[in-house]
Structure 1
């Protein structure tokens, strides 16, 4: 039946004429009211709705109407805040702030002693106001008349028989006994003489007795009857004496709520707690001096986690935010604010703290900025990625270039907190630019922290940026003069080994680590050895997976071809220190089939030695054929005989041999050019100067060595085209200064390769096998 009544009341409340809507019902035990959670239609905020069914409780209707009247007129912070009251033909409604029955926590015994004292202090102060300022008597003080608000504060309700003692027809005299469970909570003098007896006793005597019962309930969980009044079970020792005076049977000896508060506020009294002092000082926080504000914050820091979180969220936090943003609260107040804010849900944080934090990041006060950066880990989870990217990181970047080192250092440390909320574009662009700046900071600690920061955010960098940036940063850190910066670089390399390729490990990182093996600090040497071992193990592991060679397989030389030099310079089976080098050279000679062939007819050693490598080899025809070549063919130099000694053979035998030598020099880097000054091969191919008085003695007879000994075909062709008009001297010879006539015998003779005796005779004959051939170091 009660369910149907509640459903009907809810349906009526959902009508368009009501400024609220009802939801679930809240159990409040024995009461003339039914409590529902509700929502205000105008702004969607939460509220509570007390409903009274007139048809079902006609006898108690005067109590409900008295509660509505007193709720409208009685205003106090300790009283439930009323938004609206509505009366219909069937129901009465009191719309209040969202509250919950205190009895829930009392029955669960979930109240701490500190919170209980704080709540009792609020109720006692409210009763003091009702008794002294309003000259009224509540008449029904108990746990069922107290509610907790969203901020966790204890609010006094249950104004069913609240009466002013200035009224002769006060409702308490007539309807006091209609309150549910009145027989358990009624004072002993009222039980004996009725409610009229309160006129002859102190005004606060009834409420003082009810306050004593409330104290017993909140510390013990249940009150069964008057025989328990005054018992000190579970009552804090500091409160027991005053509690007993509240519950005394003689109303004239009872301690009033006002005196109870006064005794508790004495030095060392039971109401001298951190939470109560915080509540009193909070409202005047913006008006306090710096010393008083610091004392307040120190008091706030001492509060333990079992204090009501809702109170800090709803009451303390807004006041702290006002003090920080407008009252000059400073970083200490901000730290306390963010500590409380860390306990908010994401929606509450975004609604209450995010706008203030965004504005504070643009504040030029360095102390506030440093405090914000220090506390970023507490609030970053509640900040959205868009807010961090668009509103927090841009003003935060000014810290990278701030003149104060502490701001720069804290900004670098704060990167670790915001890195997961930054976009890839910001990380790989703007952020890396600022970290490159701090990596070269004048402060060694900032350089060290930058290296640590890069090592921690390595996984957030893009694939294309990661290797290039990290290798440059860490290898530079290894060379830093600050010992801890060097150590940070080595540790970062160890931690980020997986982000580098094996080629980078072997070619860039290992060479950078090696100098640290001989660092002057043992700390660096030890860490360098550990880091080196990690990278060597990885490179070796990768090397074991590589192919043996990438060179194409070559056909071995035919066995019937004799190796004339094998007996002298070694074979492939030679296992000496230089055997691999000699055998490779021998294999090249053996494989050069088609390039160097032995010839039966070879010219004398003197002619081969004196002929320049770049002058065309003379043919066996008449002198005229040497001056004018046939049109059909182009002469090529004859192959060098293989029978000559290796030391007598000119260097540019085959063109690709010279190219191969260039690659070797390139692979080994710059060589010493001084070694070529005493080279016997260079002397052998140099142009000798004739000793006879030749008209061409002072002229060069050949081009400089730059084409591997190939004939100058271009010069010969040019001479052929001009032979009809004139017959100039072949290219490579000196011009005759005075004549242009036809060639004479002397001229034709001069056109031949010169065989005159040079100033310095060079022995080009084959050496005997026993003589030194210039390879003595390799024998």
Structure 2
């Protein structure tokens, strides 16, 4: 082989330039030509090269030159297409389109019956042209003189003895018998009388007989001689009658190939097949009416997968694409394009289909847009990432805001298909912006599909804003009036649970899930329980790994130096009651006060008593009567109690149990709102001087209870007020501070009270700071966040 290539190169160097490169040799049964695969040097395109060596085959040189001449002058779609020829003293080269011998297929029986009919139909049309229009006889029609092109179409070659019957010295008369294997295919009248007998019989007689033997050969794989002519083995029954008339022994009784073609084209004839009808009308697809185009597409849908793939790739596909782009073929034609493109290689798809798809995405036709989006899964793997991100997606985003709901819905669904071909910047920027719009779409189905889409593309979102975007989108969908949208949000939360931190699960997701537990739709309730259980299990697992407490251990047992009271830790005995911690806190604070409560003023401690004296007033100071002048001095020295303090102190008896303690319990909890409870300000009023203790805060910083203020408030209560607790109705402190508070409240009667009211200083009352009970602004959860 290498020797032959070097010899060919040497011969070419001595002759005219031949801009083609020889490739592998292709085996041919019997021919005067040697066939090679080749390539065109200019663009690398495929071709075939027929080579004739003059030095070793001089006797057949006229036949080779006749073939070159006829191939150059005879132009027909069914004839081998010639690209270039070169003739020298030593060789003849014919460069043609890339060809494959038909014998390769017939021997392997790799073609279906419908494909064989389609091929014979094309050959019959070409022979009809040669006989009728060109007034010529082929003379060597057989399987060995037929080839298939890259498009799968059958081409006629073997023009070595093709002659016009108008020429008196036609080459067929002298060289017809020199054609390789002529004995097997020669008609019986020529075998008896020689090739000169052609002149005595109809012009079509020779080619009609050879066309009949060709039919037998393509269906059976081989033709051994004239005794097989007329046998109908494996030939389709609809052809039997016409086939027998082709191989009739009487040349004058034979039907021409043109007549055979007409018989096959009749209604219900053997050439009335979907494939033949398709190829007959594909060239004029753009010029057809709507009804004709619909009929064409119906015929196309009837084709099975055993039809010639190459023909669809090379001939049907380009015509269909032109029809979609320029001929109004519509989405149905594009669907057929996608069906055919499945059989294309990646390189073929990139060169034939991708440019058309990019142009179609710019089309304003909504039907075409929907068809493109629906067929994206078929072609997305063959579209380069740069093409999708830079050319297709910018055109695709117009569908998110289209006025037609079907376009918006298909665009949202297509996101799942193209997400793998988009850059992170495109996903977290433009794509999320448009998905935020479709999540508020007026169509509930589009809102639901947007939620599903976000759940499925969660892993493609940026880590920085993934949780923020998903929580905002899904929690809002939980409030959607459409039940399936709420259900989709619950399922999406469950599917993307790994995207959220434990803090987000507890603080933001679980509160949003709770209303769905009592949803009006059982579908939503069931899914809410499943999703809630999933998050609860995760939070419980996380909580089991947390420390018992983060409070620092106490550094000293002496709490008198602590300015801020610390709540005691519940003890096991206290844990039995849910109020144990509160009681512990109260008792621990009282227990930290050491020593006795000292009376101020002129009070003197009680004298030691004998054991024989009954202890009737133990621990209770003896009442002291204050004079009017002392009350006056105390009133001037002490600031007045404000109205707020008075009203507050009037409720101080709530700290002490009585018979009516439970009357207002339920109402107090019923009026407490959760958000107000947790969000209210913890600041207290800041008086200009040391604050007077109130009933709400019965203890000052030194831990001493202000019983005197409480008693003074009770002495001036209106009729119908609650009675004092037992044992405190007549107890009055002897300290000057008590007298001061009593004088300021105006609770005493007599001259002392009148005098006190005259000398009462006009000081500005201390107003307690109001507590803001409005809920804090926690942000608008309905927004998608900065990431949107």
Calculate the TM-score normalised by the size of structure 2: 0.76
Contact 1:331 1:368 in 2 (8 A): yes
**Residue pair 2:80, 2:155 contacting (<8 A) in 1 also:** yes
2:475 maps to: 475
Deviation at 1:489, TM superposition (A): 1.4
Q: Deviations over 1:664-698 (max 9, x none)?
A: 9998344999xx99748399489643635246514
Which whole-Å deviations, capped at 9, do the CAs of 1:122-176 have from their partners, x for residues lacking one?
A: 0111111111111111111111111111111111111111111111211111111
Change (3 A) 1:571 1:438: closer
* Contact preservation (8 Å) 1:570, 1:583: no
Is 1:216 the equivalent of 2:279? no
Question: Deviations along 1:563-605, whole A, 9 cap, x unmatched?
Answer: xxxxxx996523432354146416853996xxx5436855379
Helix, strand or coil at the partner of 2:23 = strand
Cα gap change, 1:60 to 1:520, in 2 (>3 Å): same
The 3-state SS of whatever aligns with 2:86 is strand
> How far is the alpha carbon of 1:323 from its aligned partner?
1.8
SS of residue in 2 equivalent to 1:681: coil
Classify 1:13/1:503 alpha carbon distance in 2 versus 1 (closer, same or farther; 3 Å). farther
- Equivalent positions of 1:478-627 (< 5 A) are 478-554=478-554, 572-578=572-578, 580-582=580-582, 584-585=584-585, 588-589=588-589, 596-598=593-595, 603=600
Aligned to 2:111: 111
Offset at residue 392 of structure 1 (A): 1.3
Name the CA distance, whole Å, in 1 between partners of 2:303 and 2:525: 48
Partner of 2:745: 689
Would you say 1:38 and 2:48 are equivalent positions?
A: no
Query: C-alpha displacement at 1:13, in angstroms?
Result: 4.6
Structure 1 position 342, deviation (Å): 3.6
- Whether contact under 8 Å (2:131, 2:204) holds in the other structure is yes
- Give 3-state SS (helix, strand or coil) of 1:284's partner: helix
CA distance in 1, matches of 2:176, 2:150: 31
Distance 1:139 1:604 in 2: 148
CA drift at 1:494: 2.3
What secondary structure does 1:17 align onto? coil
- The residue that corresponds to 1:153 in the other structure is 153
Q: Partner residue of 2:678?
A: 668
Shift of the 348–255 alpha-carbon distance from structure 1 to 2, 3 Å rule, reads same
Distance 1:464 1:42 in 2: 54
Q: Is the 8 A contact 1:147 1:155 kept in 2?
A: yes
25-34 or 67-76: bigger deviation: 25-34
Change over 3 Å in CA distance of 1:129–1:33 after alignment to 2: same
CA distance in 2, matches of 1:552, 1:408: 58
**Does structure 2 retain, via aligned residues, the 8 Å contact 1:32–1:52?**
yes
SS class of match (1:251): coil
Q: Check 1:58–1:364 CA distance in 2 against 1; reply closer, same or farther (3 A cut).
A: same
Aligned to 1:272: 272
Which has the bigger relative contact order, CA under 8 A and spacing at least 6? 2
Secondary structure of 1:454's counterpart equals helix
Q: Are the equivalent residues in 1 in contact too, given 2:505–2:535 (CA < 8 A)?
A: yes
Contact in 1 for aligned 2:570/2:580 (Cα 8 Å): no
Say if 2:380 is the partner of 1:380: yes
Indicate if the aligned counterparts of 1:689 and 1:697 stay in contact, CA closer than 8 A.
no
Residue aligning to 1:8: 7
CA distance in 1, matches of 2:453, 2:654: 64
Provide the C-alpha distance between the structure 2 equivalents of 1:665 and 1:417, rounded to a whole number of angstroms. 44
Q: Is the 8 A contact 1:13 1:22 kept in 2?
A: no
- CA displacement at 1:309 relative to structure 2: 1.6
Partner deviation per Cα, 1:604-650 (whole Å, 9 max, x = no partner): 7999xxxxxxxxxxxxxxx9xx9xxxxxxxxxxxxxxxxxx9979xx
- Alignment partners' CA distance in 2, 1:425 and 1:323: 37
8 Å CA contact 2:274, 2:303 repeated in 1: yes
Could you give the per-residue CA deviations for residues 414-448 of structure 1, whole angstroms, max 9, x where no partner exists?
A: 21221111111111111111111010011111111
2:5/2:22 contact within 8 Å kept: no
Deviation at 1:264, TM superposition (A): 0.8
* 8 Å CA contact 1:665, 1:671 repeated in 2: no
Match of 2:87 in 1: 87
Name 1:732's counterpart in structure 2: none
> Corresponding residue for 2:141?
141
User: Structure 1: how far apart are the matches of 2:5 and 2:408?
Assistant: 64
Partner of 2:166: 166
Q: Which runs of no fewer than 5 residues in structure 1 stay unpaired?
A: 559-568, 608-622, 627-644, 649-663, 707-779
Given the alignment of the two structures, is residue 325 of structure 1 paired with residue 325 of structure 2, yes or no? yes
Matched residue, 2:21: 21
Provide the rounded CA distance (Å) in 1 between the counterparts of 2:679 and 2:460: 38
Corresponding residue pairs, total:
642
CA distance in 1, matches of 2:158, 2:463: 68
Tell me how far 1:502 sits from its aligned partner: 2.3
Contact 2:574 2:581 in 1 (8 A): no
1:34–1:51 CA contact under 8 A, matched in 2: yes
Please say if residues 571 and 586 of structure 1, whose CA atoms lie closer than 8 Å, have aligned partners that are also in contact: no
Q: Shift of residue 497 of structure 1?
A: 2.1
Q: Summarize the Cα distance change of 1:236–1:521 in structure 2 as closer, same or farther, 3 Å threshold.
A: same
Question: Measured at CA, do residues 244 and 495 of structure 1 come closer, stay the same or move farther in structure 2, by a change above 3 Å?
Answer: farther
Specify every segment of 5 or more residues in structure 2 that has no aligned partner in the other structure, as ranges: 559-568, 605-633, 638-652, 657-673, 684-692, 700-705, 714-740, 747-752, 770-788
- SS of aligned partner of 1:468: helix
Which structure 2 residues correspond to residues 744-759 of structure 1 after superposition, within 5 A? Answer: none
Paired with 1:557 and 1:672, the residues of 2 have a C-alpha distance of 28
Alpha-carbon deviations, 1:60-108, whole Å to 9, x = none?
Answer: 1111111111111111000111111110121101111111111111121
Query: Aligned in 2, Cα 1:30/1:665: closer, same or farther, shift over 3 Å?
Result: closer
Q: Given the two structures, how large is their TM-score scaled by the length of structure 1?
A: 0.76
CA contact (8 A) 1:486 1:524 kept: yes
| Cα deviation, residue 110, structure 1 | 0.8
Show the counterpart of 1:178: 178
Write the deviation string for residues 212-258 of structure 1: whole angstroms up to 9, x where unpaired: 22222222222222222222121111122222222222222222211
Instruction: Return the alpha-carbon distance in structure 1 between the equivalents of residues 516 and 10 of structure 2.
Output: 82
